[in-house]
Amino acid sequence: MALEVVVRKAQAGDENALSMVGQATFLETFSGVLDGAAIVEHCRKAHSPSQYLQWLGDARSALWLAGAVPGDAPVGYVVVTAPDLPGADAARDLELKRIYLLGRYQGGGLGKRLLGEAIGHARRVGAARLLLGVYAQNHSAIAFYAKQGFKHFADRQFVVGGTAYDDRVLSLEL
C-alpha cells in the first residue's frame, strides 16, 4: 500500500516539525553507527528549531516539507542553502544540505520528489552545480544520488561527538 504524502514549501512556523523529522531521521540512520550520546548532542545543535528557523529566514535557502495524508504529520524534508563544502564556489553553487525521510517513507519515490524540488530550485536561481555531503558508508544513499546523476566531487571529514567520519561530496552539474 502506497503512503500518500503532500510536499509543500516550508515556511516560518514549520521549524518544530522540521527539527522533529531531522532528529528522528538522524537517530534512525546512525544509531548503531555513531555513539548514542554524540547523536543526541549533535541533534540538539544541528537539528534545533532555531537552525531551521534561520534557514527559513535566509533568502539563499529553500526548504520543502513532506506531510502524511491524512493529518499532515511531518515525515520528510529537503533543505537547499549556500554551500559549506570543500571545493564549492559560493557564488555559483548551492548545497543540498539535508534530504531526510522517515524510514517507512523511503523507497516509494518521495526522496526523488524532494530531490526534484531541490534541483528545480537550484536551476531556477541559476546555480551551476548542486553539491551534497553523504556519509561514505551510506551506500544506499550514494547509489540513490548516482541514479540521479550525481558524481563524486571531493571528500571531507564530518565530525560528530569529537570523532571524524568520512563523507563523500557529490556534485550534479545543472
Per-residue model confidence as pLDDT tens digits over 96-122: 999 999 999 999 999 999 999 999 999
Tell me how far apart the alpha carbons of residues 56 and 136 are, in angstroms, rounded to a whole number.
28
**What CATH number did the domain enclosing 48 receive?**
3.40.630.30
Q: What is the mean pLDDT of residues 146-161?
A: 96
C-alpha cell, 44:
540538539
Is the model's pLDDT at 153 over the cut of 70? yes
Tell me how far apart the alpha carbons of residues 2 and 7 are, in angstroms, rounded to a whole number.
15
Q: Does residue 23 sit within a domain?
A: yes
Tell me how far apart the alpha carbons of residues 172 and 134 are, in angstroms, rounded to a whole number.
14
Band (51; pLDDT cuts 50, 70, 90): very high
Q: What is the mean pLDDT of residues 85-92?
A: 96
* Omega before 74 within 30 of 0, i.e. cis: no
Q: What is the pLDDT of residue 3?
A: 80
Nearest by Cα to 130 from 116, 144, 140: 116
Q: Does residue 134 sit within a domain?
A: no
Q: What is the largest CA-CA distance in the chain?
A: 44
Q: Does residue 113 sit within a domain?
A: yes
Is the model's pLDDT at 37 over the cut of 60? yes
- Count Cβ atoms below 10 Å from residue 165 Cβ, excluding itself: 16
Q: Does residue 165 sit within a domain?
A: no
Give the number of domains in the chain. 1
Q: Does residue 102 sit within a domain?
A: yes
Tell me how far apart the alpha carbons of residues 127 and 84 are, in angstroms, rounded to a whole number.
15
Q: What are phi and psi of 70, to 5 degrees?
A: -85, 170
- What is the domain extent for residue 116? 5-128
Q: What is the pLDDT of residue 2?
A: 63
Q: What whole-number percentage of the chain has pLDDT above 90?
A: 98
Q: What is the mean pLDDT of residues 151-161?
A: 95
Is the model's pLDDT at 1 over the cut of 60? no
Q: What is the mean pLDDT of residues 144-165?
A: 95
Q: Which 8-state DSSP code applies to residue 99?
A: E
Q: Does residue 147 sit within a domain?
A: no
